[in-house]
Chain A
Amino acid sequence: SQQGEEDPQALSIQEGENATMNCSYKTSINNLQWYRQNSGRGLVHLILIRSNEREKHSGRLRVTLDTSKKSSSLLITASRAADTASYFCATDNFGNEKLTFGTGTRLTIIP
């Protein structure tokens, strides 16, 4: 079964607003990663958060991890048109070599 599931499936906001996407997963993890995919392109790594971390920042990105709820959130502050993309969370399976990707959140920033 799918490990990560993003919520919402699609999100449209005005430029300048903040965007929040959530990811829920089913099994214990060592780490969780977030990736961005622009239309017709490959995925680009955004941030990795380890299971013993609760929050991590990178530029306008803020990621939180709640292992007790098996969930993570990605916050993009002061959104820009260039942030329009699909965002995926990816989890391991507690030591498994592979990453399991969620179904993604399609984010549209309206200029």
Chain B
Amino acid sequence: DTAVSQTPKYLVTQMGNDKSIKCEQNLGHDTMYWYKQDSKKFLKIMFSYNNKELIINETVPNRFSPKSPDKAHLNLHINSLELGDSAVYFCASSRFSGSNNEQFFGPGTRLTVL
């Protein structure tokens, strides 16, 4: 069974649209993350939730809004999509918060904004 899953795997949409990416983990972990990987493979943290509470919120436009309905799910909603939002978005989880924990990554969602 997949440990960290994301849907959809690919998302192609027009500028100005609103879209959501869903993430679920079945590892029983407390902490979940959203990362953005650009075309140069640079991976940057966007958000982190621990037990449904926001603990990391990087300098991300407020068009991006994470939502954690329970500790197994962390969804990412993006309003008014822009060309620069095109990237691969990865969800990850770790057993606990803190940088000394191994993170488990989902397969990624490739977002293309036209």
Contacts and interface: CB of A to CB of B under 8 A. Distances in A.
B102 A45 contact: yes
Contacts of B104: 45
B99 A43 contact: no
A37 B106 CA distance: 11
Contacts of A86: 41
Given A41-B107, A44-B105, A30 B43 contact: no
The main secondary structure of chain B at its interface with chain A is loop
Given A98-B45, A98-B48, 10 more contacts: A31-B100, A33-B102, A41-B108, A43-B43, A43-B103, A45-B102, A45-B104, A93-B99, A97-B97, A98-B58
Nearest to A91: B99
Interface in A1-50: 2, 30-31, 33, 37, 40-45, 48, 50
Interface stretch (A55-63, A67-75, A76-84, A99-107): A99-107
Contact of A88 (B43, B45, B99): B43
Interface size class of B (residues with CB under 8 A): 20 to 34
B41 A42 contact: no
A99 B41 contact: no
B100 A101 contact: no
Nearest to A48: B102
8 contacts: A30-B99, A41-B108, A45-B103, A92-B100, A96-B99, A97-B48, A98-B56, A98-B58
Contacts of B106: 42
A43 B103 CA distance: 9
B40 A31 contact: no
The 3 closest A-B pairs by CB, nearest first: A92-B99, A42-B105, A101-B43
Interface string B15-43: 00000000000000000000000001111
